[in-house]
Structure 1
């Protein structure tokens, strides 16, 4: 350890090297009266000696150091800051300042006894150091030195105030050094400043599957083996890593443009990388990603963002250094931003819905079913699309991808059949407007909202209006008493959407008397023979709520248990639905559809078109003139899908190329469009 052989070389302030004396970060050592004397004659020589060792032996740049001497008085304050703070210097030169403390050093008088208890002695300074370290979540190392004696500590992640002695301090790799030998960095060309090279490759779906892995390999097994995480905890952890990685790619490019010099990504490791430093950088990147999201959403939604944020203040990305290192190694070569929407969607298709089907199955709809619903409804850039039980928001991202592809094809056709100069990710201004303003999702679980928000972010829809919300709450609580939707108020208002695709939770009952009365007060399905029912199946309540959210002539595709369609006990429900909507299609799904996700109930996709004006109960019962006029040329499309692409155990029954859109799903969509359409 270089902290030895102390001879007090700087006892006389005049011996301080000139470059140290003139450095703005070190001038606090000397009194401001021009006398050239130390602020603390006994301790400051130790501090400058330690600074020189840190710079020359460990590679700490002076501009990463900050002295805390401005408020020193005769009686030192217990809750001040360490004498010397060494920051992570990733953002040095960017003009944004350094705010991520990495190492803290406490200097003391050389005459004090090693580990002694005298006043202002070793144990006093050690206790102060414990306090300083625990107050800074990013600080990983601590140094306590009297010059004659030095101890170096590492903070225990599980017990923030516990400092563990270690033999030596790892070498500090400056940001500039990291960029010199990092295999993954943004390269700045001084001769062509706009020619910025990132060095990352787009992912294929197979490669992403390999990187993220399953219970036997990849990131999943790392989180399981190193951290002991359960599947749902591993999902949350992996989503945080992906969020930080996605942000790091753009933030590093922005940093290079600010500093005009090459920089390594945070998600980049080499043989020189200190795992503890990497942990701090990844944690800070996640915090900055949260801040970016907060500022981005505030531009559109204002400051009341509690229900819209992917992560709150309490959410952190901090695992064991070795775990962080191994996850970064697997993610570092690949670009989440450059990867296509299809591939990014694959993160949530494969990694989440398959690997974790047992624990999170209730939040996922099989991809073939989503493709069926989107293909039947045929969304356009003019639609306002919502999902009041959005789970991971895959319905919405599939709609986004469908509309993007349709706009891309249309733009190529308008460009004489040439794709030259057309961005396939943002083919038209109409698509950008749709992406930023026409997508709405609600989810009851805040944990699952993490997944939904990151899913939409990675698909470019950072402005998608997602919120943590109980969609079956009293309508006034959801809308704030507003009773009108489109055109002024799109979203979850009365008539605020033109299209809903949803797979609501089913199997439970809604028994809240206030909610049941609220539905009944608007001629809802909870009103039977003039009275309010005592309970209603959850999926039926969602049909009611969806038809309230949809504007007249709007489209609804919803997954429902077949019992709603066939049981005699739900005849009144079917009658109510037919008063409010035209039945457009019923597509029976195989028994195995939801079996891999722990639900064996037989289901169908029901497609409805909301009437301009609901039929009256009397008009419906008499099958009179009212229905004849309302249902002129009224046809219903009926179909059955026998092969959804896998069996009840989740084993694929088709090739992988066909699995996400099986032949029967494709045929059903084409058949619907040809025979009925919209």
Structure 2
């Protein structure tokens, strides 16, 4: 008995330290383990309690318990789901939870964690039964909704919170896989990444088949390996791979993602031994359900397993998931509703592994659901007609298709080609034939010196960011909208003034968001901006000859509407090369140094990010002189963050500068007069004479 108690205590401590604190970001001093609260539970000791308030000593009991958001009863890791010990824990919780002021509770064996209402009914999140510990935001939601309805069994949450939940769970499982992989001699990190994606995509595919009503129980599936002996699990998985990569399978185009799994578990002496495969299988299997949660699968695995050099090398093809999400939300907002007479198209002409497209899919699907227009016809439209993508690397295009397939669908029109100079049939169709027809473009293109001359008559340049903006404008239809990430030179380099004029002549720049210098570190430290445009006129393109137009002149009229600008100082990660997450909370549990993530307040209400809130309400802080906040180093800072800049101010500027920093936070350096300069030089000369 003592041995079991010791093992249980060790398991609980690992759960608290390695999952709750390290992976879910719950502050350690907000968690109390195995402690009685005399004024509430008497001598009974709840195993794990989590509160909005920290607990330092017994004087904090009232404050800690009054702000409690979760109570878990923990059992030994060998405890089976729904066995006598598990049911006994449920009975204990049904007594203690009301004493702690909660209308729900959790039971865990440190592998699985289930949550229940006070009637003993298991809780779900958006229809998916909970089987993992949850972040504080979700716990607040559960407390709030169970407090309003004792009989509730399904907790509803918005897409932002759901994504954060699914990613937190997924990341914690990737951490478990890391530990298992230490005993496997993978050739390199890319093979480790491909193996992980292959395993996860197989589990994902079965989920998708079930949701689509195509799950034939007589066939071999991922779940078939769940109840087989360890020594036969590899054979079962290999049979599943063979079936889903056959000629009659819709998954066959993603065969490359699972063939690396086939390679490493086959043969008399496989690289991944049977015992290791069992651990990996169980870990991946416990990720379920993940289908439809809508995040960049490849991006998550890549961030977990790639080393810093690989991340730097790969950076030009990869957009951080939290940025891709907020850009998609800002671009699409709540504007699109499915209408059979007004379908629309979305393209990323430099799609990389599909981070922008997956977020676009998720945001649009959510818009339809919120407006009660997500019909079977709308689902088919998003899956087969709406999304397009091009990437110069074949493996990236393949990963992007897989990402979109797993996130919901919409992978049908993603191809490998050069968006600047397409040479393949599909690429030419998507870029050239359909040019000028897209409703939306969302992209983070490559920067720097390229080989293709930008298609503009306003300057001669082979800079890829200039060529990319030209391509984006030409892809859009009139009144189409785009979001493009671009380096600072586009907005302030004096040599690019003429090109800025072309943009302002053909488009309306509606918004510019300045991103932190380290937004895409360690991939690049280039200062970048998210520029949102609405196309008003077609450009006169020098590459199009014989149309009677003079390429030295430009269609259109100069923009007249003001531009809304925002300076993003904090994005939830340290402004340094390390990019570790900053998890400080302020009043009502709002993020202290994260302006792009949503949050759940103390009362369990979902709140949108600071950037989105300012965007939606067209906030302008000119009258107030800016906002005041506490920087990470503790210094009080007051500065402007957002507001409208009159276009007359831009046109009056010698270089048509569009930097938000210039207009929101102008800086005048301490200039010296000519006489002061002469005095300084005289002093230097005298000093040099004395030295001589």
TM range (shorter): 0.5 to 0.7
Q: 1:476 to 1:328 in 2, by over 3 A?
A: closer
Check conservation: 2:345, 2:387, Cα contact below 8 A. yes
- Contact 1:582–1:611 (8 Å) recurs in 2: yes
Structure 2 length normalisation: TM-score? 0.53
1:370 corresponds to which residue?
324
Q: Which residue of 1 aligns with 2:288?
A: 335
Kept after mapping to 1: 8 A contact 2:436/2:475: yes
- Going from structure 1 to structure 2, the CA distance change for 1:295 and 1:574 (only over 3 Å counts) comes to farther
Looking at structure 1, the residues matched to 186 and 305 of structure 2 have their Cα atoms a distance apart, in angstroms, of 16
* 1-structure distance, mates of 2:307, 2:263: 25
Matched, 1:396 2:357: yes
- Please tell me whether the aligned partners of residues 194 and 260 of structure 2 are also in contact (alpha carbons under 8 angstroms): no
In the alignment, what sits opposite 2:597? Answer: 661
1:549 aligns with 2:475: yes
Q: 1:310–1:454: 8 Å Cα contact kept in structure 2? A: no
State the match for 2:678 in structure 1.
none
1:207 aligns to 2:169 (yes or no): yes
**Kept in 2: contact 1:377–1:557 (CA 8 A):** yes
- Which of 227, 231, 236 aligns to 1:281? It is 236
Structure 1's 363 and 283: CA in aligned 2 closer, same or farther, altered over 3 A?
farther
- Partner residue of 1:635 out of 562, 567, 588: 562
The 3 A distance-change label for structure 1 pair 449 and 544 is same
Residues 248-259 of structure 1: pairs in structure 2 closer than 5 A? 248-249=206-207, 257=216, 259=218
Task: Determine if contact 2:446/2:465 at 8 Å carries over to the other structure.
Answer: yes
| Contact 1:310-1:449 within 8 A present in 2 as well | no
Q: 1:286 to 1:363 in 2, by over 3 A?
A: farther
Alignment of 1:212-231 (within 5 A): 212-213=174-175, 218-231=176-189
* Contact kept in structure 1, 2:444 and 2:485, CA below 8 Å: yes
Residue 223 (structure 1) shift: 3.4
Partner of 1:242: 200
Q: Which residue of 2 aligns with 1:644?
A: 571
Instruction: Provide the secondary structure at the position in 2 that maps to 1:232.
Output: helix
> How far apart are residue 504 of structure 1 and its match?
1.1
Which deviations, in whole Å up to 9, do the C-alpha atoms of 1:7-63 show, x marking residues without a partner? Answer: xxxxxxxxxxxxxxxxxxxxxxxxxxxxxxxxxxxxxxxxxxxxxxxxxxxxxxxxx
Q: CA, structure 1 residues 612+313, in 2 after alignment: closer, same or farther (shift >3 Å)?
A: same
TM-aligned CA deviation for residue 452 of structure 1: 2.0
Computing the radius of gyration from Cα coordinates, the structure with the larger value is 1
Q: Distance in 2 between matches of 1:621 and 1:445?
A: 35
State the alpha-carbon separation in 2 of the partners of residues 281 and 334 from structure 1. Answer: 19
Task: Tell me by how many angstroms 1:461 deviates.
Answer: 0.4
Partner SS state of residue 296, structure 1: coil
**1:447 is aligned to 2:373:** no
- Distance in structure 2 (CA, Å) of the matches to 1:399 and 1:266: 34
Mapped contact 1:584–1:608 kept (Cα < 8 A): yes
Alignment correspondent of 2:273: 321
How do 1:96-111 and structure 2 match up within 5 A? Answer: none
Distance 2:202 2:246 in 1: 11
- Cross-structure match for 1:473: 421
Alpha-carbon separation, structure 2, partners of 1:316 and 1:262: 17
For 1:615 and 1:480, how far apart are their aligned partners in 2? 20
Q: What count of residue pairs does the alignment treat as equivalent?
A: 421
SS in 2 for 1:268: helix
Q: 1:632 to 1:240 in 2, by over 3 A?
A: closer
In the TM superposition, residue 599 of structure 1 has moved relative to its aligned partner by 0.8
2:46 maps to what in 1? none
CA shift in 2, pair 1:551/1:290, >3 Å: farther
Equivalent residue for 2:75? none
Gap change, CA 1:331 and 1:556, over 3 Å in 2: same
Q: Secondary structure at the match of 1:583?
A: strand
* Structure 1 residue 346: Cα displacement: 6.4
User: Secondary structure at 2:447's aligned position in 1?
Assistant: coil
How far off is 1:642 after superposition? Answer: 0.8
Residues 285-364 of structure 1 mapped to structure 2, 5 A cutoff: 285-291=240-246, 295-296=249-250, 311=256, 317-319=262-264, 320-322=272-274, 323-336=276-289, 339=290, 341-342=292-293, 344-345=294-295, 347-348=297-298, 350-353=300-303, 355-356=305-306, 358=308, 359-360=310-311, 361-364=315-318
CA RMSD of aligned residues (A): 4.2
- What are the within-5 Å matches in structure 2 for residues 71-86 of structure 1? none
1:190-220 superposed Cα distances (whole Å, 9 cap, x missing partner): xxxxxxxxx997775333222221xxxx223
1:499 paired residue among 425, 436, 440 = 440
Aligned positions of 1:528-677 closer than 5 A: 533=460, 536-595=462-521, 597-614=522-539, 630-631=557-558, 633-647=560-574, 648=576, 649-654=578-583, 661=597, 663-672=609-618
**TM-score, with length taken from structure 1:** 0.54
